[in-house]
Chains A and B, each alone.
Chain A
Amino acid sequence: MADHETKLDCEAVLKHLFERLDCELDPAKSVEVDRHLADCRACFSRAEFERKLLVVEDFDRKS
């Protein structure tokens, strides 16, 4: 378990997830999100899905 002072809940992580994937979160908030993802299987699965979909969305640049 992460310490309670900095632990985000799932709702807060979802709020910040896309900005995290777009590398738009500040470093401190990124650490908090990453820490939650390391502890929470549901949010980790969601993050992986969004990350993979992001790569698929990124179709012009990858082609």
Chain B
Amino acid sequence: MRLTKRPSDAEDLVAEAVAKAWAAFDTLSDDARFRPWIFRVLINTFRSHQRKHGREVSIDEGADAEGVDEFWLFDRLCQPFLLWWSNPEQDFLTKVLREDLQRALDALPDCYGAAIALVIVEGCSYQEAADILDIPLGTIRSRVRRGRSLLQKALWVHAQEAGLDRANEEDEATDG
């Protein structure tokens, strides 16, 4: 679903990937490697679909600049003067909802969303994710970091729009 964005397309993609995997099952030499193997079949099927429809392969696009414009929630939440009498980062964690995270993850550019989904949601190692996406290990490392930064920025924007950071703003106003 994160790749196709539409449930019906996701079902078709999974069905085709399962058929391909079944046909190629003999090529899986190590049963312990089944999970990365099936993800790789799925990703390659997705790539074929996009190329067939004349689209750019979105999971392969995107700059891999490391350390550029990083955004970390902790830096926004934990301004030193607030720490004396409150615990803003804990307040934030109790307010943020699963749906907020789902929305933020879905909104990530595909190259970062795929890396985050494999490593954080599916629990793949960086090497497994690199093998699945067929990209260098250093690229997955930078995409996971950059994806995290973008995810945290999206959560911050949502928190501001939803007024979840209001308490902090009030404290700032009082302080100023």
Contacts and interface: CB of A to CB of B under 8 A. Distances in A.
B147 to A, nearest CB: 10
A57 interface: yes
A23 B101 CA distance: 22
Nearest to A54: B120
Q: Interface residues of B: mostly helix, strand, loop or mixed?
A: helix
Nearest to A49: B89
A61 interface: yes
A7 interface: no
Interface residues of A, number: 19
Interface of B: 73-74, 77-78, 89, 93, 96, 98, 101-102, 105, 116, 119-123, 125-126, 141, 144-145, 148, 151-152
Nearest to B97: A56
B120 A49 contact: no
Given A18-B145, A56-B93, A61 B122 contact: yes
Interface in A6-63: 18-19, 22-24, 45-46, 49-50, 52-54, 56-61, 63
Given A46-B74, A53-B152, A57-B105, 7 more contacts: A18-B145, A23-B125, A24-B141, A49-B93, A53-B93, A54-B120, A56-B96
Given A18-B148, A53-B73, A61 B101 contact: no
A52 B93 contact: yes
A10 B121 CA distance: 28
5 pairs of A and B residues whose beta carbons are closest in the complex: A49-B89, A60-B121, A46-B74, A59-B98, A49-B74
A45 B154 CA distance: 22
Contacts of A60: 121-122
Contact of B89 (A45, A54, A57): A45
B78 A45 contact: yes
A51 B11 CA distance: 33
Contacts of B116: 57
Contacts of A46: 74, 78
A24 B74 contact: no
A46 B76 CA distance: 12
Nearest to B87: A45
A53 to B, nearest CB: 7
A48 B73 CA distance: 13
